[in-house]
Amino acid sequence: MFNVLIVDDSPLVRSILRDFLEDSGEFKVVAEAENGREGLEKIAVLNPDLITMDIDMPVMNGLDAVEEIRKSFTTPVVVISTQDTAKAAYEATARGAVEFYSKDIFTAAMPEDKKARILDSLVHIAGTKGKLPVLRDGKFSFDESPPALSRRPSGTGPQRPLRAPRKSAADRKAEAVVIGVSTGGPRALCSIFGALRRDFPLPLILVQHNSSGFDRGFVQWLRGYTALEVRLAGEGERPVPGRVHIAPTDRHLLVGKNGAFSFDDGPPVNNQKPAVDLLFKSAADYYGAALISLVLTGMGRDGAAGTRAVRDAGGLTMAQDERSSMIYGMPRAARETGCVDMVVGLEAIPRQLLLLAGR
């Protein structure tokens, strides 16, 4: 059982979250705090496994509290806030929060399947305690590595390419990039998109796992970190170079046979909706060898089957390396398929994308 600290200035919200967590049998709420400062004091004494954090609070708000926590503790923080603080919730993830949810979804009307997905995610997040980076001199203590061909994980023998490259960047005519990301994604995406110019010659099509319903807030927030155009993907739209097309919440995003976006309202895949696998597979069907795929930080296996589909179609596949991933679940699963061409550290991904795009 995981010990939880709830930080929120509303007694009602604290009560709702306590019931939600403890009714699962997986969590025990060991303390509550009314503001970020009180939360910091209780973390130092209680050493919880998981912290839930509101944004708008007196004395010390959630943004400042998250940043202070990340300087001294490796305890995961999950932001639970309201729609009107959506941009701030994403900013909290850039400062070190692991995940975020809308308070609005924590009601008696929450569907059981969604409740199960959130609880499963929180269990996995609580299990990352002690494995998260700390904030030093304004930067997280990730050990970046330069771009390299896919390598064996450390401890499994000499490092060598798992697959020989099929085409050089100069010989490859790329037409689109598909990206899948989950926990830790907002920070990683800031780093990547912030380093790309508005004239990037390829469309970037993104599935960011998102149970919060904050998809429009995500778009607005991400626009503040990049010169690229950022927007939610629309039914019937075609991918545009220099534009980040983001899958809306609770619908699977597909690339149709005509190259235009479509949506699938079917059940979750890999416990996710939207699912990375469905985007990658549909894009591979359309773009074939002209597709680049990238799996970034996140929990679970979503994106692994999609990576295989891209590879089988002749596309080039990439995954974030372990040292720069907040959660090395999805990239690991992609690598385990044996279909990842390149494993790249976070800071080197923009340069690698530019190379593959012919820049």
Is 113 among the catalytic positions? no
Upper half-sphere CA count for residue 225 (Cβ side, 13 Å): 20
Domains and CATH numbers, the chain: 2-132 (3.40.50.2300), 148-356 (3.40.50.180)
Query: Annotated catalytic residue: which of 8, 102, 150, 209?
Result: 209
Integer-rounded Cα Rg, in Å, for the chain is 20
Q: Does the annotation count 182 as an active-site position?
A: yes
pTM recorded for the entire structure: 0.83
**What pLDDT, on a 0 to 100 scale, did the predictor assign at position 215?**
85
pLDDT at 17: 97
- Residues 228 and 198 sit within 8 Å (Cβ to Cβ): yes
**Which one is catalytic: 81, 150, 182, 325?**
182
Q: Would you tell me how many other CB atoms lie within 10 Å of the CB of residue 238?
A: 13
The 10 Å Cβ neighbour count of residue 169 is 15
Write down the pLDDT at residue 217: 84
What pLDDT is recorded for position 96?
Answer: 87
Pick the catalytic residue: 9, 54, 302, 341? 302
Query: 216, 215, 227, 217: which is closest to 190 by C-alpha?
Result: 227
pLDDT tens string, the chain, 359 residues long: the values are 999 999 999 999 999 999 999 999 999 999 999 999 999 999 999 999 999 999 999 999 999 999 999 999 999 999 998 867 677 878 888 888 988 888 988 998 998 988 998 998 899 899 989 877 676 665 555 433 333 333 333 333 323 344 545 555 446 689 999 999 998 898 899 999 999 999 999 999 999 997 666 788 889 889 999 999 999 999 999 999 999 999 998 899 999 999 999 999 999 899 899 999 999 999 999 999 999 999 999 989 999 999 999 999 999 999 999 988 988 999 999 999 999 999 999 999 999 999 999 87
Q: Which residues pair with 343 in a beta bridge?
A: 148, 319
CA-to-CA distance for 183 and 328, rounded, in angstroms? Answer: 9
What pLDDT is stored for residue 92 in this prediction? Answer: 87
| Closest of 64, 100, 59, 109 to residue 82, by C-alpha | 100
- 249 closest CA partner among 221, 222, 215: 215
- Do residues 8 and 29 make contact, with C-beta atoms less than 8 angstroms apart? no
Clarify whether 209 is annotated catalytic. Answer: yes
Can you list the alpha helix ranges (DSSP code H) found in the chain?
11-22, 36-46, 62-72, 86-94, 112-126, 185-193, 215-223, 276-287, 304-312, 330-336, 349-356
Cα 25 to chain centroid, rounded? 27
pLDDT at 258: 96
